[in-house]
Structure 1
């Protein structure tokens, strides 16, 4: 599907206004809503291109600025050490409750959107994978796709670095798809094993994929990008979302 012109919106949250981009198919009809979480660098070119790819497969995609409380609207951090330093600093300054209320604001926007059919999903890489996991804790999220979710096994997201994400695994009612790179130092083998065992023990319905790839292999910029694995993984993502959302 071709896309409409991207739309910039501002959503109200308990921690202030949050800017977001909306991408949706140009065709007529009603489509599932997809909450797309970025990396720590916010809405970069690779993130927006991936969001457009998913929107073009039949989803209304909303891409919020995850650090809206701390950075001017429209800020995009560079893929360099300075950008990493800022993103990683803010990652553990923002309270987990604020990440959750941001998720709720986007999900409520999608549910009320006239072109949304009411079916909701979430997607994200890196910190976005962890935020997608947090979105999966919401009872109206039917499907979630987490690409190499960081800090999940360490329970270190947000202020205080003591999140309850894994402890709440039993709250996940929808289906999950998790994707990892075996050569990713941010989610090592023991971390992946902890996540797998926790989800299994909690009775979560999930699909698990591991590739011989580095962290951020999905990002179409930089030396870690693996175009063939990205093609396969995004294709599996579309198939998974369509099945779970009955598209």
Structure 2
């Protein structure tokens, strides 16, 4: 499916949020996938991943997750300086501000004539956590979380009762949780803790662990696993086709 790419600047309570849009080149209506990046924002690998999803029949929105803390259009490099800056941004932005970002995107989406009214979410690394956070929105019907960081920590600033794992009761859609067994950012004890808490709810979720390192979906660097990436895209697409079409 041929796609087109553009961007929109969405007003949020914390400022303008540049949001990149990749969607089928068609006059038909399509489901929307909110796609959340790593701490580096819309890098080449993130843009390519979003376009893969778009080419399967989805309007994919990639927000600049740290829009309050950087000039519009900021992309951080996959190096020590980029990692240091991205982690500093993560530790500065309050978790509730991602909620208002999501609300602003969803309200904007509802006004678009290319949306069929169904919304899902997806993300890598911190983006996996932010996709999980987006699942708190009642409009989000299904969510694919890839090696979601910080679900087991308090690294992202939050008030009592506002941590993502304390708000599981607000999730009503389906979750797809994907992890790498060799991920040093979310080790086995942390994964077990997250799994145990999800098991104690009525949330419909599936849980998959692969022999892979952190960021195995990123098609740059020596951690990329193309075979597993293909499998995981297909798992996500199957869930979205069931829940958003």
CA distance in 1, matches of 2:160, 2:145: 20
1:146 is matched with which residue?
A: 145
Counterpart-to-counterpart distance in 2, 1:38 and 1:162: 25
How much does 1:49 deviate? 0.2
Deviations 1:17-47 (A, max 9, x none): 1111111101231111111100000000000
User: Kindly tell me: are residues 161 and 93 of structure 1, through their superposed partners in 2, closer, same or farther at Cα, counting changes over 3 Å?
Assistant: farther
Q: What residue number does 2:221 align with?
A: 222
Residues 10-19 or 200-209, more deviating: 200-209
SS of residue matched to 1:91: helix
State the Cα deviation string for residues 202-225 of structure 1 (Å, max 9, x = none). Answer: 211101111000000000000100
Deviation at 1:161, TM superposition (A): 10
SS in 1 for 2:3: coil
Residue in 2 that maps onto 1:74: 73
Q: What is the TM-score normalised by the length of structure 1? A: 0.96
- 1:190 equivalent to 2:184? Answer no
Name the residue aligned to 2:242. Answer: 243
Q: 2:96 touches 2:158 (CA, 8 Å); kept in 1? A: no
Aligned to 2:131: 132
Shift of 1:156: 2.7
Determine whether 1:2 maps to 2:2: yes
Number of residues of Structure 1 aligned to a counterpart in Structure 2: 245
Aligned to 1:28: 27
CA distance in 1, matches of 2:157, 2:108: 24
Separation (CA, whole Å) in 1 of partners of 2:202 and 2:158: 29
Match of 1:97 in 2: 96
Other-structure match for 2:53: 54
Q: Give the structure 2 partner of residue 120 of structure 1.
A: 119
Mapped contact 1:156–1:162 kept (Cα < 8 A): no
| 2:117 aligned counterpart, secondary structure | strand
Give the Å deviation of 1:244.
1.5
Looking at structure 1, the residues matched to 132 and 105 of structure 2 have their Cα atoms a distance apart, in angstroms, of 15
TM-score, reference length from structure 2: 0.97
* Bigger strand share: 2
Mind listing any 5+ residue stretches in structure 2 that lack a counterpart? none
